[in-house]
Chain A
Amino acid sequence: MAEFLSLHDAVARYVQDGATVAMEGFTHLIPFAAGHEVIRQKKRDLTLIRMTPDIIYDQMIGAGCAKKVIFSWGGNPGVGSLHRLRDAVEKGWPCKIEILEHSHAAMACAFEAGAAGLPMAVFRGYIGSELPSVNDQIKFIECPFTGERLAAVPSVRPDVSIIHAQRADRQGNVLVEGIVGVQKEAVLAAKHSIVTVEEVVDDLNAHPNACVIPSWAISAIAVAEKGALPSYTHGYYGRSNRFYKEWDAIARDRDTFTQWLDDNVFNAAQNHAGENS
């Protein structure tokens, strides 16, 4: 059964220095509040997995939490570069990080394989791409039945996955609605999982085929109101496109970034998403 914890206690218990962490949410439901808690607790040497690192990993990388990032599209959606990611990769600030890059299809399949308890994912991919020449975790195998050459990547098996969702019921079952990304797969693939939610309700009111993650498949649930801002929570609040645009200038410069982090993360109350609210 999922345990209801404060966000502070959930992160303190399940995110250890050196851990492999997946914080998912495909543009939607990005667990920013949890990311900020990881920053506040000064977790270090994390291997961060995410299809689209987005601003959340830009912040965590700039704060010095990461030693490695595994991703498939590393930009600020619709805006441009992730400057903290680039500064870390290109100049080693605030610490050197290693990157391992994939395609979306590869990572989506790798999360699914992780949830399915398999060691690897097989798919028809990377044909003619030069990504396999810079990522030694991309291999090709021959189908034993047809002889077709197929791509293989290791499954994603994080120590802990963290996602944000609309709501949990009082037993700790979680409903995810809207763009569901790879969140269910991320939770099921991980040894431990933390789900932050907008609210806890008596009844999820979920239709029979809704994306519901049962309480017994989750380690901890923490309430984090507006916990996905500046991304959005379908049915609760919209994406702050303005903040995504503003982030470009904040993150471009080390000093403005550090100041932003002090003002909005280190000196902000716990569970406060910290942006433009």
Chain B
Amino acid sequence: MSLEYTSSEMMSVTAARALENGMTCFVGIGLPSEAANLARLTHAPDVVLIYESGTLQTKPDILPLSIGDGELCESALTTVAVPEMFRYWLQGGKVDVGFLGTAQIDRFANLNTTLIGDYKAPKVRLPGGGGAPEIATNAGEVFITLKHSKRAFVKAVDFVTTLGFGRDGKGRDNVPNIGKGPTRVITDLCVMKPDPDSKELVVVSLHPGVSREDVIDATGWEIHFAEQLESTPEPSENELTILRELKARTERAHADA
């Protein structure tokens, strides 16, 4: 194989492949939305995409800039009010996977989208929780996708906006009516999964051309690798073509608006 592709494309394709056909997915904006729609346009035509703006089973032709773009509503099976979305569809247990991005993630897959620094005197103020705190606990499981860097992958997040497995890895133990939590993290370097016992994230698959040192250098804690470390399959020509067309359509549409 000698296809040319970027590490970002590798990330999007790998994240898309995590979604199985027929799954119901509550989609975050940005990278998760790109991956979820790529899945829908390739191997998972019957994946059900839900956005928190109330758009149910939506099939956007271009990627939305905001979570409530008109495209999401126009291409949806139906659009419900936001309280119904969170109460019936999410809390009611109708969502298989929550697909989230984040600014910071730690070794127990806790997510921080609130701030960097101290709450009373933040160094960087981030947008806040949005839908994530309840998506992460009420969806059957959670996929997370973001670019790998030491700034993003920290030993302990500055603020737990959204539960992964808690600051001690036991945050979901003995909690009734809670989803499995993060089951995989897809970056531009690798795929991570939580250790079944400690819940600490370990690398299970390296993307082609990425070394262990690359991951170690981009991770803020002493990252472990699975004994059976795999090599992530490369993107196919079809996946790359569809991804590039989707992004080009999106760029054209947003430039005009």
Binding site for B on A (CB under 8 A): 26-28, 51-52, 71-75, 77-79, 81, 86, 89-90, 101-105, 108-109, 111-112, 123-131, 134, 148, 178-182, 184-185, 211, 232, 234, 238-242, 244
A89: B residues at CB distance < 8 A: 125
Residue with the highest number of chain B CB atoms closer than 10 Å, among A124, A126, A179: A179
* Chain A proximity mask over B90-126: 1 for CB below 8 Å, otherwise 0: 1100000000000000000010001000010010011
Q: Which of B53, B129, B162 contacts A101 (CB 8 A)?
A: B129
Q: Nearest-CB distance from A52 to chain B (Å)?
A: 8
Q: B73: which A residues are within 8 A, CB to CB? A: 28, 178-179, 234
- The interface residues of chain B lying within 8 Å CB-to-CB of A72 are 128-130
**Per a CB cutoff under 8 Å, which of B80, B134, B172 touches A103?**
B134
Report B-chain residues with C-beta under 8 Å of the C-beta of A112: 83, 87
Could you tell me the distance between the alpha carbons of A27 and B66 in the complex, rounded to whole angstroms?
7
B67, A105: Cβ atoms under 8 Å?
A: no
A71 to chain B, nearest CB (A): 7
18 A-B pairs (CB sep. < 8 Å): A26-B67, A27-B53, A72-B128, A72-B130, A77-B29, A78-B29, A78-B64, A101-B129, A103-B130, A103-B133, A112-B83, A129-B160, A129-B163, A131-B133, A178-B79, A179-B72, A180-B82, A239-B70
Interface residues of B in 161-183 (CB under 8 A from A): 161-163, 166, 171-172, 175-178
B residues near A, CB below 8 A?
29-30, 52-55, 64-70, 72-73, 79-83, 85-87, 90-91, 110, 114, 119, 122, 125-134, 137-138, 159-163, 166, 171-172, 175-178, 254-255, 257
Chain A residue numbers with a CB within 8 Å of B163 are 127-129
The reply to whether B81 and A123 contact each other, CB–CB distance below 8 Å, is no
Give the A-B contact count at a CB cut-off of 8 A.
Answer: 173
A27, A75, A86, A108: the one within 8 Å of B87 (CB): A108
Q: How far is the CA of A182 from the CA of B127 in the complex (A)?
A: 20
Q: How far is the CA of A101 from the CA of B115 in the complex (A)?
A: 12
In the complex, the answer to whether A108 meets B70 with C-beta atoms within 8 Å is no
Closest 5 A/B residue pairs (Cβ)? A27-B68, A128-B163, A75-B127, A77-B66, A78-B65
Which residue of B is nearest A71, CB measured?
Answer: B128
Structural contact, B161 and A129, CB atoms closer than 8 A: yes
Distance in Å from the Cβ of A108 to the closest Cβ of chain B? 4
Out of A74, A109, A180, A184, name the residue touching B79 (CB < 8 Å). A180
CA distance A109 to B91 in the complex (A): 11
Contacts of B125 in A (CB 8 A): 81, 86, 89-90
Nearest Cβ in chain A — how far from B150, in angstroms? 21
| Contact, CB under 8 Å: B65 / A244 | yes
**Nearest B residue to A211 by beta-carbon distance?**
B81
Chain A hits for B122, CB < 8 A: 90
Chain A residues with CB under 8 A of B110: 128
Contacts of B138 in A (CB 8 A): 124
- Cβ–Cβ < 8 Å partners of A73 in chain B: 127-131
Among residues of B, the one whose C-beta sits closest to the C-beta of A77 is B66
Shortest Cβ distance from B161 into chain A, in angstroms? 6
Kindly state the separation between the CA atoms of A98 and B68 in the bound complex, as whole angstroms: 27
Docked pose: A27 CA to B86 CA in angstroms: 16
| Interchain CA distance A28-B85 in the complex, whole Å | 16
Task: Tell me which of A27, A71, A109, A180 contacts B69 (CB under 8 A).
Answer: A27
Q: Which residues of A contact B29 (CB under 8 A)?
A: 77-78
Contact A105 B65, beta carbon cutoff 8 Å: no
Given the complex, which residues of A lie within 8 Å of B68, measured CB to CB? Answer: 26-28, 77, 179, 181
B257 touches A239 (CB 8 A): yes
Pick from A86, A103, A105, A232: contact of B70, CB under 8 Å: A232
Distance in Å from the Cβ of A84 to the closest Cβ of chain B? Answer: 12
Nearest neighbor of B119 in chain A, beta-carbon distance = A134
A211–B84 Cα distance when bound, in Å, is 13
Q: For residue A238, which residues in chain B have a CB less than 8 angstroms away from its CB?
A: 70, 257
Q: Give every chain A residue within 8 A of B52 (Cβ-Cβ).
A: 104
Query: Out of B160, B178, B257, which one reaches A240, CB within 8 Å?
Result: B257
In the complex the two chains form, is B177's CB within 8 Å of A124's CB?
yes
Given A27-B67, A51-B82, A130-B160, A105-B131 contact (CB < 8 Å): yes
